[in-house]
């Protein structure tokens, strides 16, 4: 985003200073809000750093035993599988200790891999060379799995920085026997093969994209834990059960359905329970929806399609009457005013959203055409063109012009009025 023009003088601009929380520079970026706070005991500082790989799609913790002070945004060379790997430091300091506690990891684990050094030019060149092989390897890996007729999809191929290991991320509905596939991959790419199964949400997080809200996908920017989402969350929020609108790019229900679910559940506690049916003189009224913003409950009667909004107090009163065996005569719905002029006078502003629709514009165009009448097909010169050119004999030279009809007997014209377009008679040469 703006790191290319930052003037901090540090690697990758403002990221190395703990800023850049926009998420555009690096996916799953974290703002280190403790970076500028000094600690009394520097020896008690956390020596574990968080390193991100493949533009933030994968993160891991490494032990920093070197005496060098590593900052966020720097590239470091770490221990890999039978070699080394290269990543970018995404988090340092006390926040790493909080992340370790969240993931139930031990800071003093002796099996934790270590940071070898800051990445030099040779490490970076090797890393870029092996990263350039990933696209070609992905195409070839998909072709091989198709030849072996395996019911799986290769989503991504991640090469280690030294090129000795490759991780193949795949999606499959059922269990896949890929023992033969690993042998073919190892002989084709000359690397150590690791197969890792992911879900549809993880694939969308790796691919990225723009959601229906107009922003980047939550799973590819900040969301790291995927919770289960079901249609019950949509029902509590009075959303229409439309699979197309409720599904994200991964084909599953959107994760944002859980964001406001707790607010709706807290608001629905004030509504009366077991109020799906109300008995009135006209019949049984059935509940169709609950409006938590206006504290209304909408009912419909069997003999009509009209919807009746009732207040919470009125619903409770009708239920008390039904429990006593009393059937009220009417529902007594709440009157909802839809007069926009009244709202304009009370609030002092005009709501411009939705005032003009395409149908109104089409009606205006159709009315204008009817007032103008049918166009003249014989002399279609357009409304802004001038008069047609005339020849010496008084006729029009336009290609679409036609001859005028002869003069009728009922017309009264003087004999000498030959029209402005005719030439005077020839009187002979002047002497």
Q: Read off the pLDDT of residues 48-57 as tens digits, 9 standing for 90 and up.
A: 999 988 877 7
Split at pLDDT 50, 70, 90, the class of 240 is confident
Split at pLDDT 50, 70, 90, the class of 341 is very low
- Cα(21)–Cα(187) distance, integer angstroms: 43
Split at pLDDT 50, 70, 90, the class of 182 is very high
Is 1:20 a contact under the CB 8 Å cutoff? Answer: yes
Give 91 or 19, the one with higher predicted confidence. Answer: 91
Give 247 or 335, the one with higher predicted confidence. Answer: 247
Q: How much is the average pLDDT of 143-153? A: 92
Give 361 or 169, the one with higher predicted confidence. Answer: 169
The answer to whether residue 6 scores a pLDDT higher than 70 is no
Token pair recorded at residue 16: 């190395």
Is 119:86 a contact under the CB 8 Å cutoff? Answer: yes
**Strand residue runs (E) in 30-83:** 48-53, 58-63, 75-79
Q: List the one residue out of 427, 405, 407, 404 whose CA is nearest residue 415.
A: 407
The answer to whether residue 400 scores a pLDDT higher than 50 is no
Q: What percent of the chain has pLDDT over 90?
A: 29
Split at pLDDT 50, 70, 90, the class of 330 is confident
Nearby residues of 154 by Cβ (< 8 Å), 6 or more positions away = 138, 141, 142, 145, 168, 169, 170
Give 10 or 428, the one with higher predicted confidence. Answer: 428
Question: What fold is seen in the domain 129-203?
Answer: GMP Synthetase; Chain A, domain 3 (3.30.300)
Tokens 């009370």 locate to 346
Whole-angstrom CA distances from 9 to 13, 19, 165 are: 7, 14, 35
The answer to whether residue 273 scores a pLDDT higher than 60 is yes
Split at pLDDT 50, 70, 90, the class of 109 is confident
* 261-295 per-residue burial string, b: 16 or more CB within 10 A, e: under 16: beeeeeeeeebeeebeebbbeeeebebeebebeee
Split at pLDDT 50, 70, 90, the class of 47 is confident
What are the residue boundaries of the structural domains of the chain, listed by start?
Answer: 3-119, 129-203, 227-267, 270-345
Full-model pTM: 0.60
Tell me what the pLDDT averaged over the chain comes to: 78
Q: What is the pLDDT of residues 97-106, one digit of tens each?
A: 888 888 888 8
The answer to whether residue 185 scores a pLDDT higher than 80 is yes
Q: What is the pLDDT of residues 26-38, one digit of tens each?
A: 456 667 777 677 7
- Cα(101)–Cα(298) distance, integer angstroms: 48
């Amino acid at each position: 985003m703006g790191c290319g023009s930052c003037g901090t003088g540090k690697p990758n601009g403002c990221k190395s200073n703990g800023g850049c929380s926009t998420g555009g520079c690096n996916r799953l970026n974290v703002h280190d809000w403790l970076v500028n706070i000094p600690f009394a005991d520097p020896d008690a500082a956390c020596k574990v750093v968080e390193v991100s790989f493949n533009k933030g799609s994968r993160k891991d913790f490494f032990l920093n035993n070197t005496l060098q002070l590593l900052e966020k945004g720097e590239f470091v060379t770490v221990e890999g599988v039978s070699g080394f790997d290269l990543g970018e430091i995404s988090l340092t300091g006390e926040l790493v200790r909080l992340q370790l506690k969240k993931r139930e990891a031990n800071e003093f684990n002796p099996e934790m891999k270590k940071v070898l050094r800051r990445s030099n030019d040779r490490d970076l060149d090797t890393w870029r060379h092996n990263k350039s092989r990933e696209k070609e390897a992905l195409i070839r890996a998909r072709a091989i799995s198709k030849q072996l007729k395996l019911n799986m999809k290769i989503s991504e191929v991640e090469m280690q920085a030294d090129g000795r290991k490759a991780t193949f991320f795949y999606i499959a509905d059922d269990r896949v026997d890929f023992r033969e596939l690993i042998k073919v991959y190892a002989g084709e790419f000359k690397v150590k093969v690791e197969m890792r199964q992911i879900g549809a949400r993880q694939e969308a997080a790796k691919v990225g994209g723009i959601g229906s809200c107009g922003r980047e996908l939550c799973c590819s920017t900040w969301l790291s834990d995927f919770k289960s989402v079901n249609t019950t969350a949509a029902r509590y929020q009075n959303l229409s059960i439309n699979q197309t609108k409720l599904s994200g790019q991964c084909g599953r229900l959107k994760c944002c359905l859980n964001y406001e679910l707790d607010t709706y559940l807290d608001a629905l506690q004030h509504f009366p329970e077991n109020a799906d049916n109300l008995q009135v003189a006209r019949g049984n009224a059935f509940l169709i929806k609950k409006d938590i913003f206006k504290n209304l409950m909408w009912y419909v009667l069997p003999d009509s399609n009209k919807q009746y909004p009732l207040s919470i107090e009125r619903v409770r009163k009708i239920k008390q009457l039904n429990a006593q065996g009393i059937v009220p005569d009417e529902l007594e719905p709440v009157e909802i005013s839809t007069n926009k002029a009244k709202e304009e006078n009370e609030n002092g502003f005009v709501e411009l959203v939705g005032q003009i629709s395409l149908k109104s514009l089409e009606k205006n165009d159709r009315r204008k055409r009817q007032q103008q009448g049918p166009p003249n097909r014989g002399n279609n010169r357009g409304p802004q063109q001038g008069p047609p050119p005339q020849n010496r004999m008084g006729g029009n030279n336009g290609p679409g012009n036609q001859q005028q009809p002869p003069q009728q007997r009922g017309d009264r014209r003087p004999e000498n009025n030959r029209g402005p377009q005719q030439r005077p008679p020839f009187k002979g040469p002047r002497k």
